[in-house]
């Protein structure tokens, strides 16, 4: 199935709304990740030594932002080119970091679920099934690119 202009617009519009409150979005995203899969906590430098999710941590914000922003960029690429194209150097770096930190493929489903739940709670009644489908598709394609690179790294 092709990624439509409508789907691209849904992702971009909802990201515009979400990014107005990055501190809250980041904390909510990581809180959800840890709720779904507490076992991933020790992998993150900014979570491993605390019982609480730190409120203003630059690294936490950076990871949350990367997940949302790169998914949004993937939506644009899917519509423009029909595929997700991450620059080789970025992909190589991400592959290496995730392998080194002990990330495995099923963790990507955890992050996907947390992404979708964060969007749902942030957007309230603006969230809908079509938006969910568009974010899911863009995320899945991005995650596949990262997972393939991780396989190549191992
Ligand atoms: C680090 C992106 C999924 C765990 C990073 C970095 C990037 C990134 C760019 C490097 C950060 C830096 O050095 O500045 C992404 C994207 C993802 C994704 C776009 C999904 C589309 C995941 C998943 C996990 C994970 C599924 C595991 C649950 C980590 C960890 C680090 C990291 C533990 C090191 C963070 C630290 O301790 O500072 N990620 N990631 N990532 N990622 Fe991901």
Q: Ligand 1 in contact with 91 (CB < 6 A)?
A: no
What's the gap in Å between 101 CA and the centre of ligand 1? Answer: 9
Tell me the per-residue pLDDT of 107-136, one tens digit each, with 9 for 90 and over: 999 999 999 999 999 999 999 999 999 999
Q: What's the rounded Cα separation, in Å, for the pair 87 and 89? A: 6
Q: Which range among 52-61, 67-76, 102-111, 137-146 shows the weakest confidence by mean pLDDT?
A: 52-61
Beta-carbon contacts of residue 67 (< 8 Å; ≥ 6 apart): 29, 111, 115
| 127 CB-contact burial (10 Å; exposed 0-12 / middle 13-18 / buried 19+) | middle
Residue 1 banded pLDDT, cuts 50, 70, 90: low
Q: Ligand 1 in contact with 64 (CB < 6 A)?
A: no
Q: Which range among 33-37, 73-77, 129-133, 150-154 shows the weakest confidence by mean pLDDT?
A: 150-154
DSSP assigned state of 18: H
Q: Ligand 1 in contact with 62 (CB < 6 A)?
A: yes
Length of the chain: 154
What's the gap in Å between 8 CA and the centre of ligand 1? Answer: 24
- Torsion over CA: 127, 129, 131, 137 (sign): positive
Q: What is the ipTM of this complex?
A: 0.97
User: Is the whole model's pTM more than 0.90, yes or no?
Assistant: yes
Q: What's the rounded Cα separation, in Å, for the pair 31 and 51? A: 11
Q: Ligand 1 in contact with 6 (CB < 6 A)?
A: no
To test the pocket of ligand 1, the residue of 66, 108, 119, 141 to mutate (highest count of ligand atoms within 8 Å of its CB) is 66
Tell me the per-residue pLDDT of 47-59, one tens digit each, with 9 for 90 and over: 998 889 999 899 9
Residue 154: the pLDDT is 80
- Spatial CA neighbour of 121 closest among 133, 132, 134: 132
Percent of the chain with pLDDT over 70: 99
């Amino acid at each position: 199935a092709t990624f439509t202009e409508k789907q691209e617009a849904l992702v971009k519009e909802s990201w515009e709304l979400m990014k107005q409150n990055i501190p809250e979005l980041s904390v909510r995203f990581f809180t959800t990740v840890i709720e779904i899969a507490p076992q991933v906590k020790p992998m993150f430098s900014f979570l491993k030594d605390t019982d609480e999710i730190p409120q203003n941590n630059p690294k936490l914000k950076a990871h949350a932002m990367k997940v949302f922003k790169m998914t949004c960029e993937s939506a644009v690429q899917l519509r423009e080119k029909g595929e997700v194209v991450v620059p080789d150097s970025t992909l190589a770096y991400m592959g290496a970091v995730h392998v080194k930190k002990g990330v495995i493929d099923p963790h990507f489903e955890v992050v996907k679920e947390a992404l979708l739940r964060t969007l749902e709670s942030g957007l309230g009644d603006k969230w809908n099934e079509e938006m969910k489908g568009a974010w899911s598709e863009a995320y899945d394609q991005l995650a596949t690119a990262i997972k393939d690179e991780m396989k190549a790294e191992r």
